[in-house]
Amino acid sequence: MAKKRKKQIARKQRNQRKQNLTGLDFDALIALRNQVDEALTGYRSTLERQLEALGSSVASLGGKVARGIRGSTLKGRKVAAKYKGPSGELWAGRGATPRWLVAAIKEGKKLEDFLIDKATPAKKVTKRRKKK
């Protein structure tokens, strides 16, 4: 069925010359976008089938299988704060440097002055059960 659709799309492409997009109304643009989406989806599935026939996959080649997944897997994850400002502001050391830290560094302080000391973490006291 995908081959049949692919042939239909190819036939339409041969029959149509370059379209002037400025002359199209909104509905026509949406329809054109859907046609392009279908063509790309069909082409992608064809390529994936060819890769499977060769004994490989998109994921093994480093591609994203699911659509819309981009960027780092760590993006959006919460991390513990590394730096603490004089007013109690916290910064994990990721992303843009906060204004309070930039101002303090301009005043002559060092980044290490704001490090949160994690060398001696507080130990949790746990009660152990007696063995019977």
Q: Please indicate, yes or no, whether residues 44 and 79 belong to a single structural domain of this protein.
A: no
Classify burial at 39, counting beta carbons within 10 Å of its beta carbon; exposed 0-12, middle 13-18, buried 19 or more: middle
pLDDT, tens digit, 9 for 90 and up, residues 24-76? 888 988 998 999 999 999 888 888 888 788 777 666 666 655 455 566 777 77
Q: Which domain holds residue 94?
A: 72-120
Residue 97, domain CATH: 4.10.430.10
SS3 108: coil
**Number of separate domains in the chain:** 2
Q: Please indicate, yes or no, whether residues 108 and 76 belong to a single structural domain of this protein.
A: yes
Q: Of the spans 21-25, 112-116, 117-121, which averages the highest pLDDT?
A: 112-116
**Reported pTM:** 0.37
pLDDT, tens digit, 9 for 90 and up, residues 79-112? 888 999 989 999 998 889 999 999 999 999 999 9
SS3 103: helix
pLDDT of residue 103: 93
The whole-angstrom separation of Cα 33 and Cα 19 is: 13
